[in-house]
Amino acid sequence: MVTRIELDEPKCIAAGQCVMTAPDVFDQRDEDGVAIILEPVPAPEHLDAVRDAVAVCPAAALQLIET
Amino acid sequence: MTDTVPTYPFARPTALDPPAEWEQLRSECPVSKVRMVTGDEALLITRYNDVRELLADPRFTHSLTEAGAAQISTSEDGIFNRDEATMTAGPNHQRWRRMMNKSFTVKRVNAMRPRIAEIANQLIDELIAGGQPGDLQSALGFPLPVFVICELLGVDPNYRDKFSHWSDAMLNLDKFSQAETAKAAMEFQEFMVQHVLDKRAAPGDDLLSELAAIVDSQDGRMTEAELVYTAQGLLVAGHETTANMIGKMVAMLLADRPNRWDRLVADRGLINPAVEETLRLDASSSIDLPRYISEDIEIAGCPIKAGTTVMASLSSGNRDETVYDDAAELRLDRVPNPHLAFGAGPHSCLGQALARTELQVTLTVLLDRLPTLELAVPVEELRRRTGLIVGGIEEVPVRW
Q: What is the pLDDT of residue B88?
A: 66
Q: Can you tell me the mean pLDDT for B213-226?
A: 89
Q: What pTM does this model have?
A: 0.95
Cβ within 8 Å, pair B338-A56: yes
Nearest in space to B145 (alpha carbons), one of B347, B349, B351, B384: B351
CB contacts < 8 A, A to B, total 74
Q: Would you say residue B396 has pLDDT above 50? A: yes
Mutate which: A8, A9, A12, A17, vs B, most B CBs within 10 A: A17
Domains and CATH numbers, chain B: 20-399 (1.10.630.10)
pLDDT of residue B1: 46
Q: What are the pLDDT digits (tens) for B73-107?
A: 887 766 666 655 556 666 778 888 999 999 999 99
Provide DSSP, B21-75: HHHHHHHH-SEEEEE-TTS-EEEEE--HHHHHHHHH-TT-BS---STTSPP-SSS
Domains of chain A listed by start with CATH number:
3-66 (3.30.70.20)
Q: In the predicted model, is pLDDT for residue B268 greater than 80?
A: yes
- With CA atoms as reference, the chain A residue closest to B345 would be A59
- Evaluate if residue B172 carries a pLDDT over 90: no
| pLDDT (average), residues B314-319 | 97
Query: Which range (A16-30, B12-26, B51-65, B258-272) has the least confidence?
Result: B51-65
By C-alpha distance, the chain A residue nearest B339 is A56
Amino acid at B244: N
CA distance A50 to A63: 10
CB contact under 8 A, A15 and B338: no
Q: Please give the Cα distance from B393 to B371 (Å, whole number).
A: 22
Q: Is the pLDDT of residue B219 over 80?
A: yes
Question: What pLDDT score does B389 carry?
Answer: 83
Least confident of B109-118, B170-179, B335-344: B170-179
Residue B77, pLDDT score = 66
Work out the percent of chain B whose per-residue pLDDT is above 90.
73
Residues of A with CB under 8 A from a CB of B: 10-11, 13-17, 19-21, 23, 27-28, 30-34, 51-52, 55-56, 58-60
Average pLDDT over chain B reads 92
pLDDT band for position B173 (cuts 50, 70, 90): confident
Q: Which residues of B touch A32 (CB under 8 A)?
A: 98-99, 101-102
Is B67 within 8 Å of B159 (Cβ atoms)?
no
- Cα–Cα distance measured from residue B25 to residue B400, given in angstroms and rounded to the nearest whole number: 40
Give ipTM to 2 decimals: 0.97
